[in-house]
Structure 1
Amino acid sequence: MHISSKGSGPKTILAIGGTGTGKSTFGRIVFGVNTVSGEGHSSITKQTALYENDKYRYIDTPGFSDSNGRDDSEVFRNMLTLMQNYSEDNKFKVDIILWFCLESERCDQTLQRGANFIQKLVEYADLDNFDGNIWKSVLIIIRGPMLSPNLSEGPKVAAKLAMTKFINEKNIVDAGNLTVKVDHLACWIFDINDIPNDMYNTMSAEHRLIWNVYSKEEIGGKVRQRISRLPFGVEINFVHARCKRCNCLGDPRLFDNLCHPSNNPPPRHNIQMEHYHPRKLVRGHYGPVILVHSDSKRPSSEKILPTMISGALTGAAAIGRPASAAGPYGLAAGTIAGGVLGAAAGVIWTAKDKCRDCQRPFTDEGCVKQCSCCKRFLGESGCRWRFACCQWEETKIGCKTRPICITPECDLEELDPCVCGACGMLLGTEGCSRDVDHNVIYEKDDFDDTDSF
C-alpha cells in the first residue's frame, strides 16, 4: 500500500516524542486507531507502525530516550524506513506532526535531539518551493496541566535552534523574514485509567479546562480543532547516495551510525616495496664482439679439430704475429688475422686472399661485427634476453623499487586509500567506529550505475 497526498483521503499523522508521553494513547483516543500503549514510562512500541481508519493514518513511533536503551538515531531510522517503504516516487506526505513532550522550561539535550530529528525530515526538501519551515505543521503536545506558560518554552526553543541550524547549513539567504512559531497544546487526560475517586471527577468541565485537564471524549475534539488550523502537508523527499568509506547505501538519513573513520587514524594502503624493471626484456647479443670478413665461412657448432688449430697458428705466423697477441679494439689477434676462421673453415688464408666486400686481405682486420657467443652477425636475431633498462638477465631481481599496495582489490595509481586505518578492513565494508560522519556521495539519478566515486 502507498500513501498518497492526492485527493481528500485520510490524513497522515506522525506521532514523535519521548517514551511515556502518550503517543500510542493519543492514537487510540483521539484518532480512533487500534494502537497498543504502555503504562507510565515503559516503552511498548518497539517498531514504527502505521495504523489507519477511514479518516486517519496514524504513524506511531518508539519513544526517544527509550527505557530499553535503544539509541535515538535508531528510532529515527526505524521511523524513516517505514516512510520510505510507503513512499511514491521517493516522496512521502505527512499532514500533521505531533511532537509529544513533557513540561520543560529549558531546552535540554533530549528536546534538542527530538527537534533535530523533526527538522531532518525535510533535509532534502525542494527549497525552491519550500522554505524548510516544517514547524508550521507541528503541534507540540505537552503532557501535563502546564501550570506555568513557561513550561512549553523548552521544546519551542529547541525547534528554533534546529531551524536556525538548518538555515545555516543550507545557506538560505532570504531567511531573514522567516519566523519559527510552533503551536502547542497542554493536556492531561484524567480518566484514562477509569479511577472513580479521581479528584478531577468532582470538578466541572469549565474548571478542568482552565487546568488543561480533559476527559477522553473532550481531548479528541480539542486536538482535532487545533490541528485544523495548521497548514496541512509536509513532503519528505528521499535521495540515493553512498558512503565512500563504508558499505552504507541509500538515503543518508538511514545510514548506519557505524563507519570507518576519516582520521585518527586515517584510511591507508597496505604498502610494500617492490623491485621491478622499468623497461621490457629485449633480445640481443651480449657476448664479446669480434670483427670478421662478411664472406668468410662462419663455423657451425662442430668441434674444432687439432689440424684446424694448427692452421690457425700457421695463419698467424704468416703475418709475423703471435697467435695470442691482442689486436685492435680488444679483439683476438688470431681472429683479426683470420687464422681461427680459416682453421674453422678448414682453409688457411694467405695475404693474397681478399674479402669481396671490403677488398682487404682476409689476414687483415675484419669488416663486420660478429657475436662471439652465437657467431651471428650483429643485427641478426639475438641469442640472449636481457632487460633494456639495466642489461640484467631476466632471472635477476628488478633494478628499481616502487611502493605497491598488496590489497588485491586496490589500484594504487588512483591514490585513494583502500583500507581502514583503525580496523584494517577494506573500505566499502561494514564500518567499525560509532558516530563517525559518513563521506556521502550523492547519485545524480536514482541509483545511476554510471555514477562513480
Structure 2
Amino acid sequence: MRLTQQCILAIGDTGNGKSFTANIFGANAKVGDTSISETDEITIYNIKGGFYIDTPGFNDTDEEKKDEKTVHLIFLKMMESNIQNITTILWFVTPDIRARGSYKRQAQFIESLAKYHKGNAWDNTIIVTKGDQSSNSDGPRDAAKEIARDISKTGEFKILLLESLPPTNIYVKGKFQSDELNEYGVFKASEPELILAKYESLMKGHLECPICLNLKKVKCSKCCEETDPRLAFPKCHLETESFHPNTENVHNGNVIDNHPFSYSYKHSDRYVEARTRYDFDHSPPAWVVRVATIGIVNPHCPAIENGYWNCCHNNDANSRGCKAFYPCCGNDIHSSGCQKIYDVCRHKCEETGCLTICKNCKKKLDEKGCKERCKNCKNENSCNIKGCIEIPHNWLN
C-alpha cells in the first residue's frame, strides 16, 4: 500500500531533539497556523508532504506508570486525529546504561504499534542517537532485540550538532567541510537541508510500506471501556460477586387466626339448689310468723338434698362445665382466633419480622444474590463506570 502523505511519529526521552527535528521537516516550532491539532503534551504538525507527531518525553527512570500514560495519550491522539498509518518512527535516544528500563518500555510501545499490522514496525523505525560515534549506543538496539522479532532493517542515525561542541573539539578545530563532518555523523544546525537529506535516505521505502495501526474498538466485559486495547484506561474492575440489593424483615409462614390459650370449660347458667323434705324453719321470717300466731303456725322449709346446673341439668356441683370457651377472649371453641400469627414462626403480625430476606428476589441472604457488582468497589453499575483497580481488561472479540 503506497501512501500519498508521510506520517512521522517522534518518540523518546525529553531533550533528545524531537522538536528540533520537527523544524528540520518544516514544522513551525511556535505552532502557528500550520498545526492541525495541539495539546499541552502532543502536537501534530503539518509538514511538507504529510504530518509530524511530536510527543511528550518518556521517562528516563523506572517510573513505568508515567510511561504507560504517555503511550495511552499518543494512541488516543492518533485515534482522535483519525491517523491510521505511520510511515516512519523516529526513536530519539541518548546512550545511557541507566536508562535500560526506559528503553525496553519504549521498544514495547513501538512493537505495540504493529499489534494488528501484518508487517514489522521495526522496518519503519530509525533509532536517532544523540552523541558521537564513540558513545555506547547499543542499549536501545539491545532492548529492541529483546522485543522485536527482526530489527535487521531498522535504521540508525547517530547525529551530533557541531554547534553543541566545545571549541577544543577536533571537529570544531579541524574546520572540516560539511560533507566530511557528515561522514562522522556531525551536522551543522545551520544546514538543516543536509540533516533532512540524511533522514530521507533512511526513510526510503517507508511510504510504500507504512505501519497500519488498525485502530479498532472492542469492549471489556468487566467495565465500560470500549476502545482499542492500546488506548484503554489502565484501570478495570475486579471479578464480580452476587449480592442482594435490598433487604427486609419478614415472618416465616402464612398468616392464620389463633387463640393464645387453650380452651376451657364452664357452665353457662347458675346452679339450682333443690329441697325435697321439710324441716323446722329457723329463719327470722319464720319466727315472726310464730310470734304473730302465738305458735299456732309452725313454718317448715324443705331441706336441701341435691341440686343441678340450670344450663345442662347436671346434678354434680363440681362437674366440668358444659360449654367450651377460650379464656383469652371468652368466645366458644367454634369462634375464629382472637389474634393473627404466622403458622411457622408463631409470631404475631405486629411483631418485627424474624427472618431477613432480599426485598427483590425474596431469597434468604445466604443464598446467591440476584444482582452482580464489582468485588472491589462494590458498585453494581461497574459496567458503566471507569475501573477501580489496575488489573487487566477482559476484551471481547
Common fold by TM > 0.5: yes
Distance 1:291 1:73, change over 3 A: same
For 2:111, the equivalent position in structure 1 comes to: 119
Q: Does residue 48 in structure 1 map to residue 42 in structure 2?
A: yes
1:285 aligns with 2:258: yes
Q: Which of 128, 144, 147 is the matching residue for 2:134?
A: 147
Please point out which of 19, 22, 35 is paired with 1:24: 19
Q: Is the 8 A contact 2:114 2:211 kept in 1?
A: no
**In 1, distance between residues paired with 2:140 and 2:178?**
28
Q: Distance between the aligned counterparts of 2:241 and 2:204, measured in 1?
A: 57
Structure 1 letter corresponding to 2:71: F
Percent identity for Structure 1 against Structure 2? 22
Task: Tell me the alpha carbon deviations over residues 24-61 of structure 1, each in whole angstroms, 9 at most, x when there is no partner.
Answer: 111111x2122359xxxxxxx94111111340211111
How far, CA to CA, are the matches of 1:120 and 1:414 in structure 2? 41
CA separation in 1, counterparts of 2:96 and 2:212? 27
Deviation at 1:240, TM superposition (A): 3.6
Cross-structure match for 1:57: 51
CA separation of 1:134/1:7 partners in 2, compared to 1, >3 Å: closer, same or farther?
Answer: closer
Q: Deviations over 1:401-428 (max 9, x none)?
A: 6799xxxxx997058555647xx88884
1:82, CA displacement in angstroms?
0.9
Classify 1:192/1:232 alpha carbon distance in 2 versus 1 (closer, same or farther; 3 Å).
farther
The reply on whether 1:437 has 2:364 as its aligned counterpart is no
**What are the superposed Cα offsets for residues 368-396 of structure 1, whole Å, 9 maximum, x if unpaired?**
x9x97766858xx8664322431211233
The structure-2 alpha-carbon separation of the partners of 1:324 and 1:200, relative to structure 1 and needing over 3 Å to count, comes to farther
Aligned to 1:109: 101
1:199 alignment partner AA: V
Is 1:202 the equivalent of 2:175? yes
CA-CA distance at 1:278 after TM superposition: 6.3
Secondary structure of the residue that 2:160 maps to in structure 1? strand
Question: Paired residue for 2:277?
Answer: none
Select the structure of larger CA radius of gyration: 2
Q: Deviations over 1:158-193 (max 9, x none)?
A: 122234xxxxxxxxxxxxxx5343322212233599
Give the AA of the match of 1:204: Q
Q: By percentage of residues, which structure has more strand?
A: 2
Inter-partner Cα distance in structure 2 for 1:250 and 1:373: 77
Question: 1:185 maps to which residue?
Answer: 157
RMSD: 4.8
* Distance in 2, Cα, partners of 1:443 & 1:34: 42
SS at match of 2:349: coil
Match of 1:134 in 2: 121
Q: 1:141 to 1:234 in 2, by over 3 A?
A: farther
Residue 10 of structure 1: how far off its partner (Å): 1.5
- SS at the partner of 1:16? strand
Q: Is residue 386 of structure 1 aligned with residue 381 of structure 2? A: no
Distance in 1 between the 2:339 and 2:387 partners? 53
Q: Secondary structure at the match of 1:237?
A: coil
Q: Is the 8 A contact 1:51 1:57 kept in 2?
A: yes
The aligned residue for residue 86 of structure 1 is 81
Number of residue equivalences: 335
1:33/1:390 CA distance change after superposition, 3 Å: same
Selected match of 2:322 from 303, 326, 334: 334
**Partner of 1:218 in structure 2?**
194
CA deviation after TM superposition for structure 1 residue 107, in Å: 6.6
Structure 2 SS opposite 1:13: strand
User: Aligned to 2:322, what secondary structure does the other structure show?
Assistant: helix
Structure 1 pair 36/268, CA: closer, same or farther in 2 (3 Å)? Answer: farther
Structure 1 residues 61 and 386: alpha-carbon distance in aligned structure 2, compared to 1, 3 A threshold = same
Determine the C-alpha separation between the residues in 1 that align with 2:73 and 2:173: 38
Provide the secondary structure at the position in 2 that maps to 1:395.
coil
Residue 71 of structure 1: aligned partner: 66
**Amino acid across the alignment from 2:313:** A
CA contact (8 A) 1:420 1:427 kept: no
| Distance in 2, Cα, partners of 1:324 & 1:146 | 128
Whole-angstrom CA distance in 1 between matches of 2:108 and 2:233: 17
- The residue aligned with 1:363 is none
Measure the CA separation in 2 of the matches of 1:61 and 1:317: 110
1:95 shift after superposition: 1.6
Report if aligned partners of 2:244, 2:369 keep a CA contact under 8 Å in 1: no
Alignment correspondent of 1:95: 87
Distance 1:54 1:212, change over 3 A: closer
TM alignment of 1:163-178, pairs within 5 A: 163=148, 178=149
1:190 & 1:222 partners in 2: Cα distance? Answer: 16
Counterpart among 262, 266, 270 of residue 310 in structure 1: 270
Q: Structure 1: which 5+ residue stretches go unaligned?
A: 1-5, 38-44, 164-177, 293-305, 326-332, 341-368, 405-409, 445-453
Q: Structure 1 residues 86 and 430, CA, compared in 2 at 3 Å: closer, same or farther?
A: closer
Which letter maps to 2:322? G
TM-score by length of 2: 0.66
